[in-house]
Structures are given as C-alpha cells and as structure tokens.
Amino acid sequence: MDERGPPAEAFAGLFRVSQRRVDGDQLRYYGRALVPGDRLERRLWPVFRDRGYEVRLTTDTYTERDPFTGVELSRQRHVLVATPHSTGLDGVPWTNLLFAGLTVVSTLYAGSQWYGVAVDGPLDILAGWPFAVAVLGVLGVHELGHYALSRYHGVDASLPYFIPLPNVIGTMGAVIRMRGRMPDRKTLFDIGVAGPLAGLVVACLVTVVGLFLPPVADPGFPIEFHYPVLIRGLADLVGQPLDYPGRETVNPVVFAGWVGMFVTFLNLIPVGQLDGGHLVRAMLGKRQATIGALVPAALFGLAAYLYYVQDAAFNAVFLWMFWGVFTMGFAYAGPTTPIYDEALDGKRLLLGFVTFALGVLCFTPVPFEFIP
C-alpha cells in the first residue's frame, strides 16, 4: 500500500474517506466533508504540509447504477486533492530561457528603431542595447520581486516568462505563474506588493539615468506619449528637460521608465488576479469584492469622460473601454483566497496605501495618442 500523505484516520470528524487514489504524484481522497469547506481546508492544511503536500477541496461527479431500477444516476462527492509542495526548479527552465532570448532580440530591435539605426544586418540591433536593458530590467525586477517573496514564504511559483512582441516596446511584458496556494493574507500581501514596488524603484532609476543621457533624433513614430506626474516630478527634481526643440526627443531610456510606470499602474488596478487585486484582498478581506465590482464601472466612466467632455483621441477612449471589459473578467474570476484569513498588521496596511498612492502618480488619462 502507498503510504504517502496522511492516513484517513487523520481526518476523523472532518472528512469521511470512502476511497483513496494515487495519481502520479497526486493523492486524491474521495468522500464527504463533515464541516464547511473553508474550515476543512484550514484544519487539514498543516496536516498535509507536514507530509510535504498542499491540499485543496473540490467536487467530483460520477455515475452509479441504481440497484433497484438499473438506471445510471449522476452523483457528486467531495475530493481532497493533495499535490506535492515544492518551491524549487524542476530541471532547466527551457521555456523561460527561450522566451527571454526572443524578448531580448525583440527589445533590441525596438531600441534600434528608437535610436534611428537602420537594421541591415543582425548585429545592427545591438545599437538598441540601452533601451533593451532598461525595459527588461524594469519588467524583470518587477516579476523577480514576486518570485523572491514567493520563495521566501514557501509558495510555489515559476520563473518569469517574458513575452516578445514586435512593437515600439518589443515586448508585452512578463508574468510569473503562481502554482502554490496562499497560506494567509500576510503572504498574499507580501508577494503582491513586492513586484510593483521593486519594479517602480527600477523605473525611477532608469528614468533619472535616461534624463541625463543625450537626446536623440525623433524616430518619427506616429505616436505621442504623455508623461505621468511621477516622471515630470523626477525631471523637475534633477533639473533635466523632457521636451527638446526641433526634431530631438528625450533619450529612449526615459521611455523605458515610462513603460515601467505604465505597467505599474495597470498592475495596481484593484481587481481580481492583478497585483492591486491581491493587495486589496489582503488589506480588506472579502470586502474586496465590492471594490472589484466598481472597477469596471470606473474605467467605463473614465472612457466616457474622455470621449464626451475632453474630446480625447479615440485610442485613449478605446484603451480604457478595453480595460473595463478586461477587468470585468478579472472581477468575475475573483482574487486569490488565502487559507487563513486573519487581518493584516498596521505596517502592511500603511504600505499598501502608500503603494496605491505611488500607482496614482504613474497614471495619466491619455497615456499615448496616435498622430495622423
């Protein structure tokens, strides 16, 4: 008999086991929960973690034949699904490395276009290295912030996946995949806040460095980017201009800082699986659902204001309409639910409010507009 995982006797009074099945590394206990699901998971979480597993309560549909009529009937039963707890790497992360390599190439190419370099050979894209390093540094540190705190708290997470895209940035950003469960609100908060704060620090450093670099010839992209309050404040603080006369523009490294701040604001939208959704869930508990429901309405309202009052460019209206629809999906899916739901301490609550305030400084109603 396979003796992995806790024995059925450990669930006495909590879960009545009718069948136990081993499916590869996964253990499945079929039966009936004797207490509410959230209470069951809280009680069994340490029992399974002591054996090296994480547990989740689900339901399973099966069929059985009625002994009197012979008719097959659909039944439901509870299932405790236990998966091995791991925070280490499982071999060489080839997919992560492949996507990172492709993103290096795409951001180098985008950078070379920002610097006005004609790419006649493969090595010509190396001219865009300052922009590529700045963009990948901002995005990479953001995701590594999440990853580092996941490892610190013992939550299983993947390394960052960079997403290459042939646009003026060269990428659609980076993500990590959270595979483990959140044990408590403190862990959820720490992992959620680490990414935006780490990425924003690098975005500010990149912006300041870019402001001291020489301007470049306007690459002639049919798009104009507008600066948020934070970039304008940094420029005033160090006494460097954001606008140049003639056909010159700030060094593209400044634009890499703009990318980091724009990504920070979007990630801090307080809904669902976004970083902001994690923070609000950790800070307010289940009351987060109210805020999550209001977010799409606020974004639709912003789009309407820009269209009817400000007569803004259509792309800005479309941007916030798109994010309104996008966040509706996030709100429906809901945030991550921790096993233990105790309130946060005062220091984390204060840090959460400061983080959202910094996110507001990264906001501009019309981030960019296309030039006809």
Q: Is residue 2 part of a domain?
A: no
Whether the CB-CB separation of 136 and 162 falls below 8 Å is answered with yes
Query: What is the predicted pLDDT for the residue at 85?
Result: 83
Domain co-membership, 71 together with 141 = no
Calpha distance 81→328 (Å, rounded): 30
Query: What is the predicted pLDDT for the residue at 133?
Result: 97
Q: Is the dihedral of CA 60, 155, 281, 228 positive or negative?
A: negative
Query: What is the predicted pLDDT for the residue at 66?
Result: 67
Q: Are strands 223-225 and 368-370 parallel, antiparallel or unpaired?
A: antiparallel
Calpha distance 218→243 (Å, rounded): 11
CB atoms within 10 A of CB 26: 13
Domain co-membership, 114 together with 237 = yes
Domain count, the chain: 2
Q: Is residue 3 part of a domain?
A: no
Domain co-membership, 143 together with 48 = no
Question: Which pTM value belongs to this model?
Answer: 0.89
Which residues are CB-contacts of 39 (< 8 A; sequence separation ≥ 6)?
Answer: none
Which residues are CB-contacts of 295 (< 8 A; sequence separation ≥ 6)?
Answer: 269, 270, 271, 327, 331
Query: What is the predicted pLDDT for the residue at 68?
Result: 66
What is the number of alpha carbons within 13 Å of residue 152 lying toward its C-beta? 13
CB atoms within 10 A of CB 97: 12
Domain co-membership, 63 together with 171 = no
Domain co-membership, 118 together with 162 = yes
Domain co-membership, 39 together with 137 = no
- Domain boundary residue among 57, 84, 111? 84
Domain co-membership, 59 together with 156 = no
DSSP bridge partners of 26 = 23
Domain co-membership, 178 together with 220 = yes
The whole domain housing 164 covers: 94-370
Q: Is residue 27 part of a domain?
A: yes
Query: What is the predicted pLDDT for the residue at 112?
Result: 94
Q: What is the CATH number of the domain that holds 31?
A: 3.30.70
Phi-psi region of 232 (alpha: psi -120 to 50; beta: other; left: phi over 0): alpha
Q: Is the dihedral of CA 275, 278, 282, 287 positive or negative?
A: positive
Q: Is residue 1 part of a domain?
A: no
Domain co-membership, 212 together with 103 = yes
Query: What is the predicted pLDDT for the residue at 1?
Result: 45
Domain co-membership, 80 together with 127 = no
Residue-by-residue pLDDT tens, the chain, 372 positions: 456 788 888 888 899 998 899 888 889 999 999 999 889 989 999 999 888 898 999 998 877 776 666 667 777 889 999 988 877 666 788 899 999 999 999 999 999 999 999 888 889 999 999 999 999 999 999 999 999 999 999 898 889 999 999 888 999 999 998 888 899 999 999 999 999 999 999 999 999 999 999 999 988 888 888 999 999 999 999 999 999 888 899 999 999 999 999 999 999 999 988 999 999 999 999 888 889 899 999 999 999 999 999 988 888 899 999 999 999 998 888 888 899 999 999 999 999 999 999 999 999 999 988 876
What tokens were used for 366?
């019309």
Which residues are CB-contacts of 7 (< 8 A; sequence separation ≥ 6)?
Answer: none
Domain co-membership, 167 together with 281 = yes
Domain co-membership, 212 together with 257 = yes
Calpha distance 268→299 (Å, rounded): 13
Query: What is the predicted pLDDT for the residue at 303?
Result: 95
